Structure 1
């Protein structure tokens, strides 16, 4: 296994990480911004007001995008395991 293959595997792993984490991160970011704007407009500074909607949004996103995320991770792992003989030999 040469350095180019190691960098390629690392790059693919980081891309997979970003692709799988993106839906939850984007939804939580949007919910956080909306709640922050509402808090600024109403001048209500309650910590649970921003925490609970983010958790609910993350759980809902995980419920909706979870099967896709698991499928992507399983396919990536399958590709990596099938690439081991070619990388070693």
Structure 2
């Protein structure tokens, strides 16, 4: 296995990581912005108000996106296993 192939595998791994984590990060960002707007409009400055809705939203997103995440990780693992079996 050459250095270029190792870099390709690492690059693909980073992309898989970004693709898998993107739904939860986007939902966390959106919920955070909505709550920040709500706090700014109502002048409620409670620090713990952000955590519970954000945790619940990320958990629900995780449950919804779990099949997609599993399929993406399985496809990446299959590519790596094929490279191992064929020898590069």
* TM-score, normalised with respect to structure 2: 0.93
What does residue 67 of structure 2 align with? 67
Backbone CA RMSD of aligned residues: 0.9
- Secondary structure of 1:23's counterpart equals helix
1:24 maps to what in 2? 24
TM norm structure 1: 0.92
Is 1:49 the counterpart of 2:49? The answer is: yes
Deviation per residue, 1:24-70 (Å, 9 max, x gap) = 00000000011011111111111221000100100110111111101
Count of residue pairs the alignment pairs up: 87
Residue 84 (str. 1) matches residue 76 (str. 2): no
